[in-house]
Amino acid sequence: MAKTDYYEVLDVAPDASAPEIKTAYRKKAVQFHPDRNPDNPAAEDKFKEAAEAYEVLSDPEKRQLYDRFGHDGPQQAGFSGFGDVDDIFSHFGSLFSDFGDLFGRRRRSSRRGADIVVELELEFLEAVRGVSKNVTVQRYVPCDTCSGTGAKPGTAPTTCMTCQGQGAVMHRQGIFAARMTCPTCHGAGNIIREKCPTCEGSARQETEEKLNVTVPAGVDDGQSLRIGGKGQAGPAGSVPGDLYVALHVTPDDRFAREGADIYCEVELHLTQAALGAAIKIPIIGGETDLDVQAGTQPGQIEVLKGEGIPRLNGYGSGDQIIRFVVEIPTKLGKRQRELLEELAELEGINANAKTSWFGSGKSKSSKSKSTKPKSAKSKKKSKSKKAKKKQA
């Protein structure tokens, strides 16, 4: 069945502000609340639908994803709906506490079960592309024998006479009054006269469960996913906690990551950098062709737009930044040396000359010797000096 537009569910405009969305949800929650509509599945469905709409539209990231991709968008942020009504009360506990006595009976659900954290290892490409993985969870679930009531089959818990099923009592001292947990039922709102033989009245049993986790594309190391209602079952009459999946991403030998951008180094031979070349380089999707321009320098950067990691907010992908590393040969064959010396001669470079630290290209000894040819006049002076020496 196709889902109704979230803005229509809450009767708000697509540009509604956060306070307007909260007010609209409050009205819907009051209208379709299970306590006001007992044994009314249609009202319960409306209540769940409104909660789902509010969860998405009240969160800026989920709202952006919804506006861009529709009902599939929020799944990229790890939200796929609520399991049941109790899951909603567990998630919005602080919000419902502001709604007044209408929700007094449901406040007992604040005694929720504990959360569970499991760890999930992902390969680099799995985190980039998204993946479905199974995780094994050891957790408490409602007891099969008593269906989570804690009472012996054939019996049922009775309403606590101290708090009249509210789970709390008012304690007054002078002009002051305080709401306190009922000392008789300890907040449960009921009393179990005959306990279930399987769970001994705890209403839960331990089990091992395999769960399928959908990891959205673009997650990073250290992030976590929340799965509502898949934590520990709480005491009788309470809602379960949540499951948090902590993600650990294995680094990739080819890529380094920074946000949605990826970085890699590409080695070029000296001749490829000088002459240019058509080469293949690694990208997330495999390989791609790249034309290296003639005269590429060591450390030069090239950016491939949109070849990075998908952004979790749904707005495109990052870039791939390539840094060129030029490989200088450490050993040369005879012919290779001859060719390089020939190149040096063509460039006017004395490859064997000693060079000062400041790179003048000439040795100190070469500077001290003049290479200017002698003039004819100087030659005559030299001959006359030799003749005088002979006469003497």
CB of 187 closer than 8 Å to CB of 181: yes
User: So what's the pLDDT on residue 118?
Assistant: 92
The predicted-structure confidence for 274-329, as pLDDT tens digits, reads as follows 889 999 999 987 889 999 999 999 999 999 999 999 887 667 889 999 999 998 88
Under CATH, which number does the domain 252-355 receive?
2.60.260.20
CB of 307 closer than 8 Å to CB of 284: yes
User: So what's the pLDDT on residue 95?
Assistant: 56
Question: For the CA atoms of 211, 212, 218, 219, what is the dihedral angle to 10 degrees?
Answer: 10
User: So what's the pLDDT on residue 177?
Assistant: 67
- In the chain, domain spans: 1-110, 112-157+192-250, 252-355
Return d(Cα 11, Cα 29) in angstroms, integer.
13
Tokens of 357: 């630290």
Return d(Cα 274, Cα 278) in angstroms, integer.
13
Q: Three-class SS of residue 42?
A: helix
1-110 shares its CATH topology with 112-157+192-250: no
Tokens of 231: 């934590």
Cα angle value 150/152/154 (rounded, 5°): 125
Return d(Cα 392, Cα 386) in angstroms, integer.
10
Under CATH, which number does the domain 112-157+192-250 receive?
2.60.260.20
Under CATH, which number does the domain 1-110 receive?
1.10.287.110
Q: Average pLDDT, whole number, for the chain? A: 80
Tens place of pLDDT per residue across the chain (392 aa): 567 899 999 999 999 999 899 999 988 888 888 777 777 888 888 988 998 999 899 988 888 888 887 887 777 666 767 766 666 766 665 455 444 434 444 444 446 788 899 999 999 999 998 999 999 999 988 899 998 888 899 998 888 899 888 778 887 776 666 778 888 887 778 888 899 999 888 888 899 999 999 998 889 998 888 888 888 887 766 778 889 999 999 999 899 999 889 999 999 988 898 889 999 999 987 889 999 999 999 999 999 999 999 887 667 889 999 999 998 888 888 888 888 888 878 877 776 655 555 554 444 444 444 444 454 455 455 555 555 555 54
pTM above 0.75, yes or no: no
What are the phi and psi torsion angles at 328 (to 5°)? -100, 125
